[in-house]
Structure formats: structure tokens, C-alpha cells
Amino acid sequence: MKSLNRVILKLSGEALSGDKKSGYDDVIIENISKQVKEIISKGIQVGIVIGGGNYWRGRSNNNIDRTKADQIGMLATIMNCIYVSEIFRSVGIMTNILTPFECGSMTKLFSKDRANKYFEKGMVVFFAGGTGHPYFSTDTGIVLRAIELDADTILLAKAIDGIYDSDPKINPNAKKYKEISIQEVVEKKLGVIDMTASVMCMENKMPLIVFGLNEENSIVNALSGKISGTVVTV
Ligand code: UDP
């Protein structure tokens, strides 16, 4: 496995709330913070993108204008990053939160130079607010940041433990891929990340590691190649 110097980790909003389905499960978040601390102690730079599904998803709220619904979704991702960043700080991790639009004193405006400066200082950098545009998702947000910041891989920590050939909740015989090319993910429309994000990964040769957040030490293990999830090659 290629040595990894910079990774961007995606946590879905839903994963943060565990069985509660909304808000935060502190046990889960503290567990993530300990694993991230271990990873940065090895000199690996870590960026984090968090979804907003534990509060709000623009596309699920058809009663209001989609652009406005997506704006609420982007704000939800910022709330999540502020919360998780504070938990990280409580275990001694230095953090900073960057957003693609101004949020006053709550976050700092994203730029590549600023992100690089924080990474070099050993900080965990949160990329909140997605792309800053409606009709996108935090999946596209993470791929965009990973590409422009030359990350070595994207880590997708999910409620499900890898990529399957069909939905294992519906099909008990669904088969999990140990390895699959991004081309196949796109062609088979496997939906591990949304289609726009998959195509961006394919065009820009950005690999992914997909694994279950609930498995013990799964983020650390994914980085050392000990995963029971799926490696997406480019
Ligand atoms: N969102 C957006 N543009 C972006 C990223 C996110 O409009 O670039 C909004 C969109 O409404 C989305 C919500 O933020 O539904 C939460 O993000 P996402 O659905 O990716 O969260 P997840 O499902 O991963 O928790």
C-alpha cells in the first residue's frame, strides 16, 4: 500500500447520531477523536468533511425552495463541524474549521493556502459548508477538497461496512467487494457516493477507502491496510 501523508475523512451526519438518528452520540464522536489523534501522531495530515443528515437534507424537504433547503443543509454541516471540532479539542487535537463562505467569527474562509498552512501546523482541518452551492452534497464537497489539496485518498466511514453489488438490507445474498475500480463504481451506479462525486473521482484519479464506522478502530485500521471494507482503485 502506498504511504499516506494526507487523507480526507468523510463522516455522514447520520453516523454521528448513532441509534438516536438525530443530534450527536458522544461515545461515537469521542471514539473517532481518539482514532484521529492516533493517526495524526504518526505524522499523517487529516482533513474532515461531515454531512448534515442528522439534522437536515435539502433534497428530502420538498415543501420549500430547493436552494433554501440546501442552504439549511450546508448550515447543518457547519454545526456538525463546530461540535465535532470541540470534542476533538477536548482530547488535545488542534483544529480549525474552513467554510467556502464567510461565517463571521465562527469559521475561517477556505483557501488552499490556508488549509495547507493549518495542515503543516499539525491541525485537523474541518471543511464545513460543503461546496457552498445548492444542488451539491458533502460527497462532492469532499472530492473537491481532496483533489484540490492533493490528498492521497478519501476515507469514507459509513454506517454500512463497504461497497456491495446490491443493497444488503434488501438482498441477503448481496456480495461485498474487497476491491473495485472507480470506473466500475460509476458504470454499475453503485451509489457509494453520489454520481457527480464518483465521476469527479474517476476523472481526477482520486482513490477511496470505504469501511464501517461502527467497527472497532476502523479508521486507524483502514489506513494501515487492515480493512474489512472496500478499496476503490483508480
Ligand atoms: N449541501 C449543499 N451543497 C453542498 C453540500 C451540502 O447544498 O455542497 C446541503 C444539501 O442540502 C445536503 C445537506 O447539505 O442534503 C447535507 O449534506 P449531505 O446530504 O451530503 O449530508 P449526509 O447525507 O452525508 O449526512
Atom of ligand 1 nearest to the CA of 135: 7
- State pLDDT tens for residues 75-91: 999 999 999 999 999 99
Q: Is the CB of residue 129 below 6 angstroms from any atom belonging to ligand 1?
A: no
Residue whose CA lies nearest to ligand 1 atom number 18: 51
**pLDDT tier at 2, thresholds 50, 70, 90:** low
Q: Tell me, what's the pLDDT at 204?
A: 98
For residue 109, how far is its CA from the centre of ligand 1 (angstroms)? 19
Residue 138, annotated as binding a ligand? yes
Strands 208-212, 179-181: parallel, antiparallel or unpaired by DSSP?
Answer: unpaired
Three-class DSSP category at 93: coil
Q: Is the CB of residue 18 below 6 angstroms from any atom belonging to ligand 1?
A: no
The full set of domain ranges for the chain reads 6-233
* Measured distance CA(233)–CA(6) in Å, rounded: 17
Residue 135, annotated as binding a ligand? yes
Three-class DSSP category at 73: helix
Q: Which three cell numbers stand for residue 115?
A: 488549509
- Asked whether 141 and 130 are in contact (CB, 8 A), the reply is yes
Classify domain 6-233 by CATH number. 3.40.1160.10
* Measured distance CA(175)–CA(167) in Å, rounded: 9
**pLDDT tier at 1, thresholds 50, 70, 90:** low
How many helices and strands (H and E) does the chain possess?
Answer: 8, 9
For residue 66, how far is its CA from the centre of ligand 1 (angstroms)? 12
- State pLDDT tens for residues 178-204: 999 999 999 999 988 999 999 999 999
Q: Is the CB of residue 95 below 6 angstroms from any atom belonging to ligand 1?
A: no
- If you count them, how many residues does the chain have? 234
> Looking at the whole model, is its pTM more than 0.85?
yes
Question: How many Å is the Cα radius of gyration of the chain?
Answer: 17
